[in-house]
Amino acid sequence: MSKIHEALAPISWLEGRWSTTDGRGYYPNIPDFTYHEDLEFLCIGQPMYNFLSTSRHPEKQTPMHQERGFLRIKPGTNELSFVVSHNFGLTSLEEGLCETETHQVILETVNLSRISFAKPPFVKKIKRVFKLLSDDQLEATLYMETDTTPMSEHLKAVYKKIQ
Amino acid sequence: MSKIHEALAPISWLEGRWSTTDGRGYYPNIPDFTYHEDLEFLCIGQPMYNFLSTSRHPEKQTPMHQERGFLRIKPGTNELSFVVSHNFGLTSLEEGLCETETHQVILETVNLSRISFAKPPFVKKIKRVFKLLSDDQLEATLYMETDTTPMSEHLKAVYKKIQ
């Protein structure tokens, strides 16, 4: 376990490496699918988490969606900012809050920027919720709006903490 | 060395892990400084590089600036897009091109988005150039414009390829 900066105390429960025990995806007009995902929220001494996500096809193990970024907290508050790069060619700036009692992190996009040669449909908004289910069990839910689909639940996954 | 996706052929020379032999920073109204930086451009089978940068104080070894993202190429062209998250609370979408004969990558921001509790001065534009000096030697130059300073050279570093 990395040494966590004191600013991260309200979200100290998020620290570590997490791996899906169950990852499911669904969205209007695409077939349901399952996936394997590894998450990292690691602190190297700065007042933030370094974030990595790599998802893979559950049988073929080929890489699928990836995200890389940083999760910051405004010191002395429960306000969060998440700067994320997505491998399909998107930057997302997400802001939100952490709920200490329920151990939840709730984030919504305030800015999205897409590379010039990205493929449609275009993502317009993302909302995500991380919820601690038990000391070593995390749940993530991701909602997405595109230019052709209103905000809809897209991903739901449960992770186990791994060392 | 990771297996490089064929789409990355025009920038195959960027692949690998690189570590500074010399890193220098300067900017109007701040003292000159030196830094150590580790860069990664790695391919895990997708048509893009996974990118990480971690810089450290050259003596104290404490972490300084960090970046995480993805460098993509529009297949069949020399057009590049770089989606980057910066640890101080910035997303940058940078676009540009690679020059095959001179082994250069030139990128400029087309979108920047800053977290609500970022500290001034605010970065308004970034331009960077990666240039291969020899098979195992890379040079990077970064120019930056802020709300108080016009576009000025800010960082110049030389890296050696490490395995």
Report the residue count for chain B.
Answer: 163
pLDDT (0 to 100) of residue B2:
58
Q: Does residue B99 belong to any structural domain of this protein?
A: yes
Flag whether A79 is in a domain: yes
Asked if A48 has any chain B CB less than 8 Å from its own CB, the reply is yes
Report the pLDDT averaged over residues B141-154.
97
- Least Cα distance to A73 among A40, A51, A58 occurs for A51
Touching check for B52 and chain A: CB below 8 Å? yes
Instruction: Dump strand ranges (E) for A8-136.
Output: 16-27, 30-34, 36-42, 48-56, 63-73, 79-86, 90-99, 104-114, 123-134
**Residue B96 sits at the chain A interface (C-beta within 8 Å):** no
* CATH code for the domain in which residue A12 is found: 2.40.128.20
pLDDT band at B3 (very low <50, low <70, confident <90, very high): confident
Looking at CA atoms only, how far is residue B162 from chain A in angstroms? 22
- Residue A115: predicted pLDDT: 97
Write down the mean pLDDT value for chain B: 96
Is pLDDT of A1 > 80?
no
Q: Is residue A1 part of a domain?
A: no
Residue whose token pair is 């104290």: B60
Kindly list the residues from chain B whose CB atom is less than 8 angstroms away from the CB atom of residue A85: 68-70, 83-85, 91
Model confidence band, residue B116 (pLDDT cutoffs 50, 70, 90):
very high
Name the minimum distance, in Å, from the CA of A128 to any CA of chain B. Answer: 17
Q: How far apart are CA A80 and CA A119, in angstroms?
A: 30
Average of per-residue pLDDT across B2-7: 86
Judged by CB atoms closer than 8 Å, whether chains meet at B50 and A111 is answered as no
Residue B1 located in a structural domain: no
Pairing of strands B90-99, B104-114: antiparallel
> Which pLDDT score is estimated for A113?
98
Which of B66, B85, B119 should be substituted to probe chain A, the one whose Cβ sees the most A Cβ atoms within 10 Å?
A: B85
Domain total in chain A:
1
How close A70 comes to chain B (CA, Å)?
A: 6
pLDDT in tens, B51-92: 999 999 999 999 999 999 999 999 999 999 999 999 999 999
What percentage of residues in chain A have a pLDDT greater than 90?
Answer: 96
Q: Which of B68, B86, B93 lies at the smallest CB-CB distance from A113?
A: B93
Cβ distance A91 to B93 less than 8 Å, yes or no, reads: yes
Confidence of residue A2 (pLDDT cuts 50, 70, 90): low
Residue A123 has a pLDDT of 96
pLDDT at B163: 75
CB–CB of B93 and A115 under 8 A? yes
Domain span at residue A87 reads 6-26+33-162
Report pLDDT digits (tens) over A100-129: 999 999 999 999 999 999 999 999 999 999
Question: In this structure, is residue A152 part of a structural domain?
Answer: yes
* Interface mutation target, options A85, A92, A110, A114, chain B, most CBs of B under 10 Å: A85
Q: Which residues in chain A are closer than 8 Å to B85, comparing Cβ atoms?
A: 68-70, 83-85, 91
Rounded CA separation B159/B50 (Å): 18
